[in-house]
Amino acid sequence: MATDDRWLPTGHATAALGVSADTLKRYADRDCFLVEGTHFRFGPYKNSARVWNVPACAEALAYRGRLQRKQLAKIA
């Protein structure tokens, strides 16, 4: 079975994206802008770790950053 290097476990994804594991999980669980199936997926078992689609996550993080900068520009 070929591996897909876009999908990385949390530790490797955090290093590639420059954010903490807590931040990634918060964006997925509480803030809900990282979507299961697109940005992350769970393994086959209930206690399986998540794997992250690094390019899709990077794009979502960049988009969120652009939105936040626009909001700050409106305030200033």
What are the domain boundaries of the chain?
Answer: 7-74
Mean pLDDT of 36-52: 94
CA separation for the pair 2, 12 (Å, rounded) = 18
Element (H, E) at 69: helix 54-75
**pLDDT tier, 3 (very low <50, low <70, confident <90, very high otherwise):** low
Query: Which has more confidence, 65 or 56?
Result: 56
- In whole angstroms, how far apart are CA 40 and each of 43, 71, 75? 10, 27, 33
Percent of the residues in the chain that have a pLDDT greater than 90, as a whole number: 68
**Global pTM?**
0.81
The CATH code for residues 7-74 is 1.10.1660
